Amino acid sequence: MSKLDGRVAFITGAGRGQGRAHAVRLAREGADIIGIDICANVASMTYPNASEADLAETEKMVRELGRTMIARKADVRDYDALGTAFRDGYEHFGRLDIIVANAGIIRMGPESDDFLADWNDVIDTNLTGVYHTIRAALPALREGGRGGSIVITSSTAGLKASPSLNASGNAYAAAKRGVVALMQGLAGYLAPEWIRVNTIHPTGVASGMTLNDAMRELMEQAAAGGQNSISGMQNALPLQMLEAEDIANAVAFLVSDEAKFITGVQWPLDAGFMIR
């Protein structure tokens, strides 16, 4: 028996990066997956999002592990579409045990001329989208009567914001701090039902959000002594970035029975970033 045999996880942002790593890691532990991704670009962002082909590849990787994934295209900003996508998976599996609210975006580089779009797109995805995700799936999780686990992807920025006036950067930090308050409220409310709610706070992770031309330009500027949104970021451990699988390993523990006593926690997965 694997740790998550028979359980079902709902994961947002499952097309690539951390979302894909979560889907594959939880499937390896025996879980079936309901996975969604926007599979479209956001105009205010400076890098491409996952594609429908990316989401199909995640589904294939889960299937190769002997598990089933119901993959759907949906935008977490659209509550009705998100709910429809979730229900497709829930009707197929008939249960839900885990929610991983992972989808997130940030504009890399200077803010655009429409700084309000930069702000709104990040807040709507990274904060409101998390709320949408949980509210869409929570009734099914509670209905099972077996308890469960909700993991929200925050960031080190949700613990310590960097000095900035950049609309997207400020929105990112505000959203990632905001989901901590959401987590704490839900954790206290749902604890009597054995539903645990926690946030994870990764440092930089190798993914489509960080491995792109916009990020490379920022890294070159920082390496040359320039000041930008990443110039002050450095881990204590000699790791430039974590791998998505590193975060997925932590999530697999957090949603397992081995962590049955852990709720309301802000867990830094940060290679020592917070102690610098």
| Active site residues per annotation | 172
Taking residue 99's Cβ as centre, other Cβ atoms within 10 Å add up to 28
Q: Are the C-beta atoms of residues 116 and 107 closer than 8 Å to each other?
A: no
Name the region of 264 (left: φ>0; alpha: ψ -120 to 50; beta: rest).
left
Give the C-alpha separation, 270 to 156, whole Å.
7
Quote the CA–CA distance of 94 and 88 in Å, as a whole number. Answer: 10
Compute the distance between CA of residue 250 and CA of residue 174 in angstroms, rounded to an integer: 24
How far lies 116's CA from each of 111, 113, 176, 183, 214, in Å? 9, 9, 18, 26, 20
